[in-house]
Amino acid sequence: MKLKMNYKLATKCLYSDKEGTSCDKSGAISFPIYQSATFAHPGVGNSTGYDYSRLQNPTREHLEDIVCSLESGYDALAFSSGMAAISALMEIFSPGDHIISGNDLYGGSIRLFDNINHKNQITFDYIDTGNDDIESYITPSTKAIYVETPTNPMMNVTDIVKVAAIAKKHNLLFIVDNTFLSPYFQNPLVLGADIVIHSGTKFLGGHNDTLAGFLVVNSAELSEKLRFIIKTIGSGLAPFDSWLILRGIKTLSIRMERQQKNAIKIVAWLQTNEKVKNVYYPGLPDHPGYEISKKQSRGFGSMLTFEVETSDLALKILSSVQLIHFAESLGGVETLITYPMTQTHADLSQEKREETGITPTILRLSVGIEDIDDLIYDLSQAF
Q: Which residues are the active-site residues?
A: 54, 106, 177, 202
Contact in structure between 221 and 239 (CB atoms under 8 Å): no
77: CB partners within 8 A, 6+ apart: 64, 85, 88, 214, 215, 216, 217, 223, 226, 227, 230, 236
Nearest to 105 by CA among 328, 264, 340: 340
Residue 363, strand partner residues: 306
Angle between helices 372-382 and 252-271 (to 10 degrees): 40
CB atoms within 10 A of CB 295: 13
Closest CA to 188 of 63, 298, 66: 298
What number of other Cβ atoms are within 10 A of residue 30's Cβ? Answer: 10
In whole angstroms, what is the distance from residue 284 CA to residue 187 CA? 21
The residues with which 145 forms a beta bridge, in sequence order, are 100, 174
Please state the φ and ψ torsions of residue 365, each to the nearest 5 degrees. -125, 125
> What are the Cα distances from residue 313, in Å, to 256, 277, 320, 345, 362?
30, 12, 10, 20, 10
Closest CA to 74 of 180, 238, 241, 189: 189
Q: Are 64 and 241 in contact (CB under 8 A)?
A: no
The rounded distance, in Å, linking the Cα atoms of 260 and 248 is 17
Q: Long-range contacts of range 287-290, CB-CB < 8 Å, 24 or more positions apart? A: 287/155, 287/157, 288/130, 288/156, 288/157, 289/130, 289/149, 289/150, 289/155, 289/156, 289/157, 289/158, 290/157
Taking the chain, what is the end-to-end CA distance rounded to the nearest angstrom?
61
